[in-house]
Chains A and B, each alone.
Chain A
Amino acid sequence: MKTLSNMVWIELRKVLRSRVPLFTALGFLMMPLIGALLIFIYKDPQLARQLGLLGTKANLLIVSADWPGYLTIMVEFTALGGFFFFCLAISWVFGREFTDGTLKDLLAVPVPRFDILLAKFIVSALWCMALILETYVVGLILGVVIGLPGGSLAVILHGTGLLAVTAVMSITLVMPFGFFASIGRGYLLPIGIAVLTVILGNLSITLGWGEYFPWSIPALVFQETPIPLFSYALVALTGLAGIGVTYLWWKYADQNR
């Protein structure tokens, strides 16, 4: 346990001393800001007409200019946009060892390889959670600032619950990207696969196969589409498989960098 806590300390130190978390935090901040802006435009039909395309977009995305509508769009943004930022975070945590040439310093050491990797997964998850928390807090403040109607404890709790479930699923589904960053020895492969995943996820939902494709499932959850229990299991298995194959690759693949 002491070894694992040491490894977590190392990974945390690397993340906190880098500027990448700041960039992801700024990027993530755009989601509540855009959500609040769209709601603000939607609330005022005259303004929506004046803004043309942006007004049309607001009309398309927003269901209602109140707390339930606002929380829905926040969860939607977190599930879709957030996934990219999560991919970026985990890709950096794993891929940087290859691009910075520091991987070799982690290999011939008297520390279990699994502890080194688990620390990377833990810190990646913590990073994603911090981003979610940031969005949540800023989102709530903006909701109050723009004076949204229809707010009640039940509505907020429902939205928070949806956000939490979607976030946990998205974070679980991002675990295989540690593997993609490892086999791609950098950031490009996981980012490319992230784009492909979103395209395939949308296609799966359109074709009615969303519940079978792990990366579609969070979208079904926030849309509150009933999904079978095995879809939840599929998400958990995907995350565990991601951790497992990353471990096997780090343990058994030749490391030339």
Chain B
Amino acid sequence: MNWAIETENLGKRYGDVAAVDDLHLRVAEGEIYTFLGLNGAGKTTTIRMLLGMIKPTHGSATVLGNRVRLGSREPWAEVGYLVEMPHAYPELTVYENLEVARRLHPGTERKAVNRVIERLGLAQYANRRAGILSQGNAQRLGVAKALLHDPKLLLLDEPANGLDPAGIVEIRALLLELTREQGVTVFMSSHILAEVSKLAKRIGIIHEGRLLQEMDIAGMERNRRRRLLVRAWDIETVQRALSAVGYPGEILPDGTLELNQTAAIESPDNIANLLVRAGTPPTQLLVEEEELEQYFLRLVGSSGDKQ
């Protein structure tokens, strides 16, 4: 498989603090890989190391087949990026900022500026100074600068920051289109889990500089806890009846019975039959999936506990 991004033991230390530690990443060409982590987890430091802005204290990174080195010119003609806040020259207009970006990528045709303005919905702001753009439009300008030269690889740090719901959907559709139709690889960081689950093919969870878990989106769905919640008029009788047939459960403070057995979760109709036959029919059966946020915090929290 061809890797768009490959890192070996990549790490950055600031004195005793490990901002990123022994990172092994493989991002395949054409996939959307999301780096998930809390603030300060090491997402931005990783992206800066991948872009050759920060020198790793150990390990190495290879981007589009080129070993990343500080100040090198390769492979940036084929990489678009957005790091942290989408800053622009405030006194220049949206068009002028994009013209600056175009000139920083020799060979990019002049028409590319208007094309990306249209694509990102910035046409009505083209002659507006960047300093007075709303946060959402500044974000669009940042993404426009990253896309301007039709890169093969996009490194995006929190691309949905500051966008309204319509903007988030738009950017998501755009990134999906780029990967599907042009084979662009997207490596993005985020802490918005719902967004990640709709976009990414693979997810890496980073916490305190270490990659805790790497999985595909199906794997994440499998790993999320599910439970069957049962409500009935006499919940204690229900608990006894189910326990007697191999479904022990716990009564929650709100009077709901929680069952964690896979058989119960996958066949709630069987539970309903059992309870009807026991003479205590349920008033509600609900299969509940763990929220992404809860799953993420459980993962991060258990890592913190181990340490």
Give A residues with C-beta under 8 Å from B: 2-3, 6-7, 9-10, 13-14, 17-19, 100-102, 104-113, 250-252, 254-256
Contact = CB atoms under 8 A, between A and B. Distances in A.
Contact of A14 (B54, B77, B91, B145): B91
B109 to A, nearest CB: 14
A233 B91 CA distance: 39
Contacts of A251: 70-71
B76 interface: yes
B96 A9 contact: no
B103 A102 contact: no
A102 B106 contact: no
B83 interface: yes
A111 B106 contact: yes
14 contacts: A2-B106, A13-B92, A14-B91, A17-B92, A19-B91, A104-B53, A108-B53, A109-B105, A110-B76, A111-B104, A113-B71, A251-B70, A255-B48, A255-B53
B233 interface: no
Contacts of A3: 106
Contacts of A108: 51-53, 76, 79, 81
A220 B76 CA distance: 48
The 4 closest A-B pairs by CB, nearest first: A101-B87, A251-B71, A110-B77, A108-B51
Interface of B: 48, 51-55, 70-71, 73-74, 76-77, 79, 81, 83-85, 87-92, 96, 100-101, 103-106, 145
A10 B87 CA distance: 16
A256 B92 CA distance: 24
B96 to A, nearest CB: 7
A10 B73 contact: no
B127 to A, nearest CB: 13
B104 A109 contact: yes
B72 to A, nearest CB: 9
Contact of B48 (A2, A106, A109, A256): A256
Contacts of B145: 105
A107 B53 contact: yes
Nearest to B71: A251
Contacts of A107: 51-53
A134 B85 CA distance: 39
Given A254-B54, A256-B54, A102 B87 contact: yes
B83 A104 contact: yes
A20 to B, nearest CB: 9
A45 B80 CA distance: 69
Contacts of B71: 113, 250-252
